[in-house]
Amino acid sequence: MEVEEIRIFTDSQLVASQVSGEYQTKDERLVEYLSLIKEKLARFRESEVKHVPRGHNSRVDILPKLASTRKRK
pTM of the model: 0.66
- Can you give the pLDDT at residue 54? 76
DSSP one-letter string for 24-39: ---SHHHHHHHHHHHH
| Residue 53 belongs to domain spanning | 5-69
Average pLDDT over residues 39-50: 95
- Can you give the pLDDT at residue 72? 62
CA distance 48 to 18: 12
Does residue 70 have a pLDDT over 80?
Answer: no
Displacement of CA 69 from its chain's centroid (Å): 24
Does residue 56 have a pLDDT over 90?
Answer: no
DSSP one-letter string for 40-63: HHTTSSEEEEEE--GGG-HHHHHH
pLDDT bin (cut points 50, 70, 90) of residue 15 is very high
Counting the structural domains of the chain, the total is: 1
